[in-house]
Amino acid sequence: MCSDRYFTREGARIAYQFTGSGSPVGYAHGVMLSRDAVRRLDLFDFESLAADHRLLTYDQRGHGRSTGRPITEDYRFENFARDLLGLIDALDVDEPLDFAGSSLGCDTALRAALAEPYRFRRLALLIPPVAWESGAGQAKQWYLDAADDIDGRGAAAWRQQWAHAEPLPIFAEYPKFDLTPDVADHLLAPILRGVGRSDLPEPEAIATLRHPTLILAWDTDPLHPVSTAERLHELIPGSTLHVSRSVDDIRTWTGRITDFFAN
């Protein structure tokens, strides 16, 4: 495995790799995870995207081998997108990327493509997060409650409770399901609070996207509901939606994305 390089932007030292040759592709992981955590889950092999391509992968600020500050505003969705665009600038990538993002990384891809559409060719949006909620009982409140719990009981107690939580129903029989946070204790609450105070871009903005887009969702996850994926499919012209209802089907996503980016 190649050694990481680092990009510094506004309070974060972001660990990344940009390797291989050919047209560029990229991947961004979800909240509380990292490149290593995605590898450990063994559901999506982002490194297979490197065949005949230059592959950009990185740990989002505050995650994995990247650093960050304990400042909530640093972890709003908008700032993660600025990190990606800044990294692309620093690398002087001279042609549009095919880009895949999971959960938080899905918003990163969407928001960056809206801000600078010429930098992207195709988008793969994996497990889009809950979005555009209103009224009482919002699923996104979980992030804010978890942050308050960490502040009140301490990160160690929260991690222990999280480790013993029941898996999502779709992963009930999957032995490798492991969402152990790859985040330093002092950053857990600020990251969760920043994400909990964020939302996907406004539907009217998303409807202006013209990038070929593949949307992949899994069932039984209130923080990544199928309804968000369906709404994105309605909004993005010509997009393709696939919903998985088993682990075996989720593990087809690597091939689906590889084929999509090959077109």
When pLDDT is averaged across residues 122-132 and rounded to a whole number, the result is 98
Contact 13, 52 (CB under 8 A): no
| Helical pair 141-153 and 155-163, crossing angle rounded to 10 deg | 130
2 pLDDT above the threshold of 90? no
- Cβ contacts of 6 within 8 Å, gap of 6 or more: 13, 14, 15, 16
pLDDT confidence of 263, banded at 50, 70, 90? confident
Tokens of 32: 């509380």
Specify the pLDDT at position 1.
61
Domain that holds residue 66: 5-262
pLDDT confidence of 114, banded at 50, 70, 90? very high
Which DSSP category does 188 fall into? H
Q: What is the CATH number of the domain that holds 184?
A: 3.40.50.1820
Span 7-40, pLDDT tens digits: 999 999 999 999 999 999 999 999 999 999 999 9
Parallel, antiparallel or unpaired: strands 97-102 and 53-58? unpaired
Cross-strand pairs, 183: none
Q: For 46, phi and psi rounded to 5 degrees?
A: -65, -25
What's the distance, Cα to Cα, between the start and end of the chain in Å?
28
pTM of the model: 0.97
Span 145-159, pLDDT tens digits: 999 999 999 999 999
Q: Is 70 exposed, middle or buried (0-12, 13-18, 19+ CB in 10 A)?
A: middle
Q: How many domains does the chain have?
A: 1
Distances (CA, A) of 66 to 12, 82, 181, 182: 7, 15, 13, 10
Span 185-243, pLDDT tens digits: 999 999 999 999 999 999 999 999 999 999 999 999 999 999 999 999 999 999 999 99
